[in-house]
A and B are shown apart, each in its own frame.
Chain A
């Protein structure tokens, strides 16, 4: 008698022609920080083709390789914790893959890790919950601590958002997990990211009236929901 899990996997295998799924942890620096999420997908698509990976292509009118980026990184932000899942049509050995990819990667795209994840695991995008950022200001902000305290003291941070002919009021406060300072020119924030609530560092800086200052933002950690939620159907 098969366990439910095995039945599930067998069913998925027959539906899903992917033979292997790779999770790549990468970083965006230099020119890469000016690329959008769509650009990054295209950059990866071409990089993987140059590396001669056995990509699995989607069926249909506009065939594209099956790539999943965990979450979009707003333009201008550097990162060392981006995640990409790649579906392959045949299994490959992973030992030399990181180097193979680095050999054909453009400037500013750093490749840290390539690991195998179950083919049937949940889509990356659905697992992202929050992210940690560091904001460095070119000139120190003397009242940075007060600004943080002032922001955190607010019970609600209402923002009106234009959505197709209707305006929605949204409270940003619950999306802020933590904000702190390390120095008068360094701000650290842990804020919500993903489809259950998404906040950009720019939104926070805007609330703190610091958006026009000369600053750099770096994302250094992505927080995923800890369980691999295997969905059967």
Chain B
């Protein structure tokens, strides 16, 4: 369908949709290139609402990287909400791009962002709305090449049937290489194109791997079925973070995070054992303070945003966090710019830092101790003494902020009901501290989520808590954490089960995902739109059991469905770390001591070509030197 026709239909139907501003584009800083004069066209899709997708930094970075190329254009696509989807289907209106209103089908390349598993059905729906068969094998070279990337793709298997190729790792360089590959092989068969794509380091093409299973359902083997296809796909990284993206699109309507994010650091050296992001985003790379400041200056000038958010996995671990926060205050405070610094660690969030961050709009601070007893915090390698938690709470309340928000998880391995009581006791102790300062105005908001073991982490072997365990723990929390000043939020058990089987699922789940979508599942991340019974029906029809994925202890030697995806952290390292956890042994921040996770040997060449200061990995001495001094060993 031509853009003129699409626009005409939109003009007629848009006012019937809720928040029509989601579907029209036209934002300041959006890039509209001449369609006919541009050789290669890429659609970048975020399979969730505009309101959420517009806050996604990843999509923005790729948009910029691609549009920077004179002969490539990139346009945005988001999932329509259910009301708009119904209107589109009734009118036969295909999914279109926001910039020039071209049908997605008319692009050369479709990139889908998959940051979390709950978007899988939306990705299928997106393909269907675009008028494309959902299965990769049913799409020939007349369809755009469909690639996906993002954190959920470190276990791509549950959606391996639908996506032609996955970007494993960081996308800012590889996306252009893939686009160039599509450009160079235009007109060739899909097989030929995919063979070439698979040759790009960091690209995973599922159809070139055969997966076989043991009779008990465990993976027997994952082997390439073509020559020249690597046995394992090593993730892609950028050795040095490029200068931050600054020309943010300024949405015309309100969005969920209506502010500009600046990534100050990628990766995390803390090694929390439950943390997927901390394992897959290694090595840690920081952006220098002057670079961040310059970016903020450019952002305010080019967008007019009144708030920036400094992003990283653990902001208060950023080397020069104090300098950065003070400098932002001094340079931009007068211009009415406010900043948020999410992901503060309790022990590094000093009173000084809190006061620098505490602007007039802020009502409180958020911390994520994740576990409430010291035993549990040792087990998950997020060691903080309880006294430290209380001290930080005192600092916050003494500063006049009324609300502390804590994130905890239930369902860590080896957790007992006493550890859950620990959450209750700690929250009440914190509230008591607050009352000393502020009386009845003090608040503690408690978010308790259910732990979901993730691939590529030390806890990838452990069973997720059973339904009964979770319900019992949640019941206790609900009974005890109530009353004035205490507000509890928890995760719906079905959403956790759902996230669990998709996180550690294998390729056979493709039929479950497709069936669930056929049964009407979309927007699964929206609690009131998650239809668990349909998912269970889909499992039943496929002859699979969700408990096999969620509640089974995996053996030390089990081959995982994601075994061929190499995040550069050794399996040996992860297993050892898991075993250490069971003994209550912790590992310190790996900036202070290298535990040989595998990043350095996997990226030896990259490392040697990169400035020493660019990575936070401590210097490693050459092997010859190590052999000479027998008492020094880098392997723990």
Binding site for B on A (CB under 8 A): 30-32, 34-36, 38-39, 42-43, 45-50, 52, 55, 57, 61-63, 65, 75-76, 104-108, 138, 214, 216
B252 touches A61 (CB 8 A): no
Chain B positions within 8 Å of A38 at CB level: 254
B241 within 8 A of A: no
| A100 CB to nearest chain B CB (Å) | 13
How far, in angstroms, from A61 to B360 measured CA to CA in the complex? 6
| Of B12, B21, B302, B336, the contact of A57 (CB 8 Å cutoff) | B336
Chain A positions within 8 Å of B30 at CB level: 107
How far, in angstroms, from A45 to B305 measured CA to CA in the complex? 9
A49 touches B304 (CB 8 A): yes
| Of A46, A48, A108, the contact of B305 (CB 8 Å cutoff) | A46
29 contacts between A and B (CB under 8 A): A30-B24, A30-B26, A31-B21, A31-B25, A34-B24, A34-B253, A35-B253, A38-B254, A39-B252, A42-B258, A46-B306, A49-B304, A49-B306, A49-B335, A50-B301, A50-B302, A52-B301, A55-B336, A61-B361, A65-B336, A75-B15, A76-B14, A104-B28, A105-B28, A106-B27, A106-B28, A106-B252, A138-B12, A216-B11
Which residue on chain A has the smallest CB distance to residue B338?
A: A63
Chain B positions within 8 Å of A42 at CB level: 254, 258
| B87 CB to nearest chain A CB (Å) | 14
B301 touches A107 (CB 8 A): no
B20 touches A63 (CB 8 A): no
How far, in angstroms, from A135 to B28 measured CA to CA in the complex? 28
A31 touches B304 (CB 8 A): no
* Given A50-B28, A108-B26, 13 more pairs with CB closer than 8 A: A31-B25, A35-B252, A35-B253, A36-B253, A46-B306, A47-B304, A49-B336, A61-B360, A75-B15, A76-B15, A106-B27, A106-B28, A214-B12
Which residue on chain A has the smallest CB distance to residue B361?
A: A62
How far, in angstroms, from A76 to B17 measured CA to CA in the complex? 11
Interface residues of B in 301-355 (CB under 8 A from A): 301-306, 335-336
B250 within 8 A of A: yes
Chain B positions within 8 Å of A214 at CB level: 12
A50 touches B252 (CB 8 A): no
How far, in angstroms, from A55 to B21 measured CA to CA in the complex? 27
A31 touches B361 (CB 8 A): no
Which residue on chain B has the smallest CB distance to residue A105?
A: B28
| A33 CB to nearest chain B CB (Å) | 9
| B77 CB to nearest chain A CB (Å) | 16
How far, in angstroms, from A49 to B253 measured CA to CA in the complex? 17
Chain B positions within 8 Å of A30 at CB level: 24, 26
How far, in angstroms, from A107 to B336 measured CA to CA in the complex? 25
Query: Given A32-B26, A108-B26, are A50 and B15 neighbors across the interface (CB < 8 Å)?
Result: no
A34 touches B306 (CB 8 A): no
A46 touches B252 (CB 8 A): no
Chain A positions within 8 Å of B254 at CB level: 38-39, 42
Which residue on chain B has the smallest CB distance to residue A108?
A: B26
Binding site for A on B (CB under 8 A): 11-12, 14-15, 20-21, 24-28, 30, 250, 252-254, 258, 300-306, 335-336, 360-361
Which residue on chain A has the smallest CB distance to residue B29?
A: A106
Query: Given A39-B21, A63-B336, A106-B27, are A32 and B252 neighbors across the interface (CB < 8 Å)?
Result: yes
Chain B positions within 8 Å of A138 at CB level: 12
Which residue on chain A has the smallest CB distance to residue B301?
A: A50
| A167 CB to nearest chain B CB (Å) | 25
Chain B positions within 8 Å of A39 at CB level: 21, 252-254
| Of A46, A61, A107, the contact of B303 (CB 8 Å cutoff) | A46
B26 touches A107 (CB 8 A): yes
Name the residue in A45, A76, A106 with the highest tally of chain B Cβ atoms < 10 Å from its Cβ.
A106
Chain B positions within 8 Å of A35 at CB level: 21, 252-253
How far, in angstroms, from A4 to B26 measured CA to CA in the complex? 50
How far, in angstroms, from A43 to B14 measured CA to CA in the complex? 21
Chain A positions within 8 Å of B21 at CB level: 31, 34-35, 39
B250 touches A46 (CB 8 A): yes
| B257 CB to nearest chain A CB (Å) | 14
How far, in angstroms, from A55 to B304 measured CA to CA in the complex? 12
How far, in angstroms, from A30 to B25 measured CA to CA in the complex? 10
B303 touches A50 (CB 8 A): yes
| Of B26, B300, B305, B306, the contact of A106 (CB 8 Å cutoff) | B26
Which residue on chain A has the smallest CB distance to residue B19?
A: A34
**8 closest A-B pairs (Cβ-Cβ)?**
A31-B26, A46-B304, A49-B304, A106-B28, A34-B21, A50-B304, A31-B24, A107-B26
How far, in angstroms, from A100 to B630 measured CA to CA in the complex? 70
| A65 CB to nearest chain B CB (Å) | 8
A49 touches B300 (CB 8 A): yes
How far, in angstroms, from A121 to B380 measured CA to CA in the complex? 64
How far, in angstroms, from A44 to B371 measured CA to CA in the complex? 45
Chain A positions within 8 Å of B300 at CB level: 49
Chain B positions within 8 Å of A36 at CB level: 253
| Of B20, B28, B301, B302, the contact of A34 (CB 8 Å cutoff) | B20
